[in-house]
Each structure stands twice: as structure tokens, then as C-alpha cells.
Amino acid sequence: MSRVGEVVRDTKETQIRVRVDLDGTGASQITTGIGFFDHMLESFARHGGIDVEIVTKGDLHIDMHHTVEDTGIVLGQAIKQALDGFKGIRRFGHAYVPMDETLTRCAIDLSNRPYLIWKSSFRTPKIGDFDTELFKEFHHAFAMNVGACVHLETLYGDNSHHIAESGFKALARALRQAVELDPKTHGHAPSTKGVL
């Protein structure tokens, strides 16, 4: 069974193509025009064990907001497409990720009832030229479009780079568990309703 999704989004603000393979090795080819964001997405692919291709061309002459948010939208849509109705998966996942002085945890439910609880704050308004407030925008866009209930919390931390990266890695590790095929579901959606 191939669990691959590919989505193209073309607006006046961004042009994006995302392809994912849920059963890949964590390989990635990512170009968004934002170096730090590329680094976070590469980490997401590696720790999620998902092959990810992303090509985003956004209105960076204005700012990074549309590029980051819309990439989250399309990545979420591509993964949801690959999940094909959430059939046969474990559905739930969680992870704790320490990075030096920082500890972040994430719990996810691929329930098709999207929600984001975000309890992460940054010591600085920017990492390089990247606005740290955009991390919440990305995670919100991703959760809403993949159909996941995501709870992400940085329990403690000082370094903004570590806070951001531990968040991406925690989301990826939790997602990796949740999308894993569970033989006990016998190919059905893991819900008493029979469908998600």
C-alpha cells in the first residue's frame, strides 16, 4: 500500500508543491527561500521518518508570514491525503524532545477534529531574521489541515533556536507514532464510529 500525498497550491501570495511519503526514510528536498525554516522542515522530515519534498515560492519581499503559514497548510493537506481516511493507523502519538537546556513535549491525535494547544514562548522576537511568532502560525496551519489535535508545550528553555527546533522534532516524533500502521485495526479507522 502506497501512502503518498501530493498537493499543489497556487495563489497570488504563494506557489507551493508538497509531496510526502509516510513510509519513507526521512529524506527531504526543501526550498522555501527561508534558510532557518528549511532547516526546521528538514528536521521534521528526518525525525518523522517521512520523505518530504517542498518547493515554496512566496512573497518574501513583503515578509515571511504567507510563506510559512501556507507551507504549513499544504504540508498538512499532503499528509492527510496520504493517510487516506486515517485507515489502519495508530492515531495517537507523543514525544518528549530535550535540546540542551530546553524540553518540549507534543501529543497528537489524528482524529480529523483539528485543534491546537500552543504553550511555547520565545526569549527573542527573532531567530536571525525569522520572526518567532511564525512558529505558532505554522503549527496551527498544519494541525488544521492535517486534521489533528495537537498539544505542544515547551516545559522550559532559554535558547530560542532550541525552543523552535525541539518543537518541530517533538511534533515529528509524535506524528511518526500516530501515522504508523497498526495491524490490530485490520485496515479500519481507529474509532468506535468506524470513520474519522
Which pLDDT value is given to residue 167?
Answer: 98
pLDDT in tens, 113-155: 999 999 999 999 999 999 999 999 999 999 999 999 999 999 9
Asked if residue 191 is part of any domain, the answer here is no
Asked if residue 155 is part of any domain, the answer here is yes
Grid cell digits, residue 18: 508538497
Asked if residue 192 is part of any domain, the answer here is no
Domain of 70, CATH number, reads 3.30.230.40
Which pLDDT value is given to residue 146?
Answer: 98
Asked if residue 162 is part of any domain, the answer here is yes
- Answer whether 107's CB lies under 8 Å from 170's CB: no
Range of the domain at 122: 4-185
Beta bridge partners of 14: 58
Asked if residue 195 is part of any domain, the answer here is no
**Strands 92-99 and 102-109, how do they pair?**
antiparallel
Asked if residue 67 is part of any domain, the answer here is yes
Count of domains in the chain?
A: 1
Asked if residue 196 is part of any domain, the answer here is no
pLDDT in tens, 12-24: 999 999 999 999 9
Asked if residue 194 is part of any domain, the answer here is no
pLDDT averaged over every residue in the chain: 96
- Answer whether 108's CB lies under 8 Å from 141's CB: no
This prediction's pTM: 0.96
Of 28, 36, 83, 79, nearest to 52 by C-alpha is 28
Q: Which residues of the chain have pLDDT under 50?
A: none
